[in-house]
Amino acid sequence: MAGEWSTVSVIELQRGGILLVEDGNHGEYRPRADEFVDRGVAFIRAADMDAGRVLFESAAKINQRARERITKGIGAPGDVLLSHKGTVGKVALVPEEAPPFVCSPQTTFWRSRDENRLHRKYLYAFLRSPGFHAQLATRAGETDMAPYVSLTSQRGLSVVLPPIDEQRAIAHILSTLDDKIELNRRMNETLEAMAQALFKSWFVDFDPVRARAEGRDPGLPKPLANVFPGRLVDSELGESPTGWSAVPLYDIATYINGAAYAAFDPNDEQRGLPIIKIVELKAGVTPQTKFSEVQMPGKYRITRGDILFSWSGNPDTSIDTFVWLHDSAWLNQHIFRVVPHRPLERAFVLTLLKQLRPVFAKIARNKQTTGLGHVTTADMKRLFVVRPDDEVMRAWNAIAAPILERAFVNAVEIRSVTTLRNALLPKLISGELRVKDAERIMGTI
C-alpha cells in the first residue's frame, strides 16, 4: 500500500471526533405499531435501501410523538447507511436534499464529523469495498440468530485512510461514475413512465377514441387523431374501439419456455454460455452464474434485446418483464422468451406486458405457496387484452419504439458503467490502482 495510508479502527476514529457510528433505538424507545402513519418522519429499514439509494418515499413513516421519544439513529444528509441485521451489508448514501429520517434497529449511520480527515463520499466508497465486506462477514455469524453485526462489533471494524487529497480524488472518480448511473436510471424512470402513461391512455382508457366519439379534441395532431376509430362498441372486455379485437394474451406473441436447469449440465468454470435464471434477469451475469457447454436447441438461446418474462417466483419482486442487456445466453425454466409475431408489434407487446405487472402479481399471489407464485400458460389464455388495428399499431410503434430504444441504450450504459465502477472501487480503496491511472481508464468511456 502506498506510504501515508493508514488503517484505523472505528473506535479510534470516534474517540478522535472524526467518525460517529450509531444505530436506531431498540426496546421501549423504538416506535410502536400505532405510531406509524401515512405521512411523517421516514423510518429506514434494510428494505428501504437499494443500489446505493435510500427509498424515502416508500419507507414507513412515524408520527411526531414517536420521533420526539427517539434518542438514537437520527439521520442527517451526507450519512452513509449500513444494514446490519437480517440483511447485512446494504450501503446507501443519504443525499443533501434528504427529508427527516431515523434509522431502525436494522440500520446504522456512519457519519464523518471531520471532512478534512475523512471525506464522506470516500467513506461511502470504503463501505462498499470487498475489504470492508470481508470484515463484516467475520462478524455477521457471531450469533446463532439471523445474520447480525452489532454496534459494538461495528466499532471494532477498521477503515483504510489514505491522505485526504487522495480520499477526495477517489471519491470524485467513483462519484462521477455513480452520478452517470443515477442520471441514466432517472432518465429511464421518466421514459418508462412516458411509455406506460401513453399506453394506458390509448389502449386502456381509450382517450383518443372517446374524445372523437364525444366530438372533443383528442389533443393529438390531426393526422394522428384520425387513425383512431370514432366509436366504442361492446366486446369481451366491455367497451372497446370499433375495429379493434379482444384476444387472449397468449395469442399476442410466441412464448418459448426455458429448458430444465439440469439439462444444461451447469459448470462453475464459465465454459460455454451463461444460464439465465431469475437472479440473472435482475443482476446480470455475475461470478455466481453457472455456465453450460451443452448445445441446446436454438430456441433456448437468447440474445441482446430479447424480451423475457419471468413467470414464477415472488409475486411482487420476481414476476416481471425484462429486456436482456447482455450477450448470448441459455434460457432456464420459469422464464418465457417472448417473440412478437412481427417487428411492428414489439413495442406494443413489451409495454403491454409491463402494464400488466399488477395483474400478473395478483394471479401469482392467488396461487402462492411458500412465498412463491406463478403465471401459467392457461392463465395467459384466459386473460384477454385489446389489440388495435394495424394503422394504430404503426402510429404507436412510431412513438413508442424510439422511447424504448433510448431506455435500452441507457440500460446498457448503466451496466457498462456499473461494471467499470465495481472494477475500479476495490483497486482504488486498496491502493493497487492510483488515481491518475483510474482517470486514464475513465477517459475511455
- Quick check: 147 pLDDT over 90? no
- Quick check: 2 pLDDT over 50? no
Residues 346-372: what's their mean pLDDT?
91
Total count of domains within the chain: 2
pLDDT band at 140 (very low <50, low <70, confident <90, very high): confident
Query: pLDDT digit string (tens) for 57-84?
Result: 999 999 999 999 998 999 999 999 999 9
Write down the mean pLDDT value for the chain: 93
Query: pLDDT digit string (tens) for 19-42?
Result: 999 998 887 888 999 999 999 999
Residues 311-335: what's their mean pLDDT?
93
Residues 276-282: what's their mean pLDDT?
92
Q: Which residue, 169, 71, 188, 86, is CA-closest to 125?
A: 169
112, part of any domain: yes
- Quick check: 143 pLDDT over 70? no
Q: What percent of the chain has pLDDT over 70?
A: 97
In terms of domains, do 259 and 322 share one? yes
CATH number of 205's domain: 3.90.220.20
Query: pLDDT digit string (tens) for 88-110?
Result: 999 999 999 999 999 999 999 99
Rounded distance between C-alpha atoms, residue 421 and residue 176, angstroms: 10
Q: Which helix (H) or strand (E) holds 216?
A: none
In terms of domains, do 157 and 202 share one? no
Q: How does strand 41-44 pair with strand 101-103?
A: parallel
* Measured distance between the N- and C-terminal CA atoms of the chain, rounded to whole angstroms: 27
400, part of any domain: no
Strongest mean pLDDT among 133-147, 354-368, 380-394 = 380-394
- Would you state the pLDDT for residue 144? 53
In terms of domains, do 221 and 356 share one? yes
pLDDT band at 442 (very low <50, low <70, confident <90, very high): confident
In terms of domains, do 107 and 198 share one? no
Q: What is the CA radius of gyration of the chain?
A: 26
- Would you state the pLDDT for residue 142? 63
Residues 174-185: what's their mean pLDDT?
95
In terms of domains, do 324 and 217 share one? yes
- Quick check: 322 pLDDT over 60? yes
Q: Whole-model pTM?
A: 0.88
Q: What percent of the chain has pLDDT over 90?
A: 83
In terms of domains, do 247 and 348 share one? yes
pLDDT band at 444 (very low <50, low <70, confident <90, very high): low
- Give yes or no for a contact between 62 and 43, defined as CB atoms under 8 angstroms apart: yes
In terms of domains, do 258 and 365 share one? yes
- Would you state the pLDDT for residue 107? 94
**What one-character DSSP code corresponds to residue 375?**
-
- Would you state the pLDDT for residue 199? 98
Which of 355, 370, 391 represents a domain boundary (last residue)? 391
Grid coordinates belonging to 263:
439439462
Q: Which residue, 195, 221, 196, is CA-closest to 208?
A: 221
| CA 298 vs CA 209, 294, 328, 336: distances in Å | 42, 12, 11, 14
In terms of domains, do 84 and 198 share one? no
Torsion sign over Cα 385, 389, 395, 397: positive
223, part of any domain: yes
pLDDT band at 86 (very low <50, low <70, confident <90, very high): confident
3-state SS, residue 43: strand
Q: Which residue, 163, 141, 43, is CA-closest to 89?
A: 141
Residues 196-206: what's their mean pLDDT?
97
In terms of domains, do 26 and 141 share one? yes
In terms of domains, do 157 and 209 share one? no
76, part of any domain: yes
Residues 179-201: what's their mean pLDDT?
97
Residue type, 248: P
- Would you state the pLDDT for residue 234? 87
The parent domain of residue 272 ranges over 194-391
Residue type, 348: F
Residues 369-395: what's their mean pLDDT?
92
- Quick check: 445 pLDDT over 70? no
CA 116 to chain CA centroid, Å, is 34
- Would you state the pLDDT for residue 1? 40
Cell 364525444 maps to which residue?
Answer: 214
292, part of any domain: yes
386, part of any domain: yes
In terms of domains, do 156 and 199 share one? no
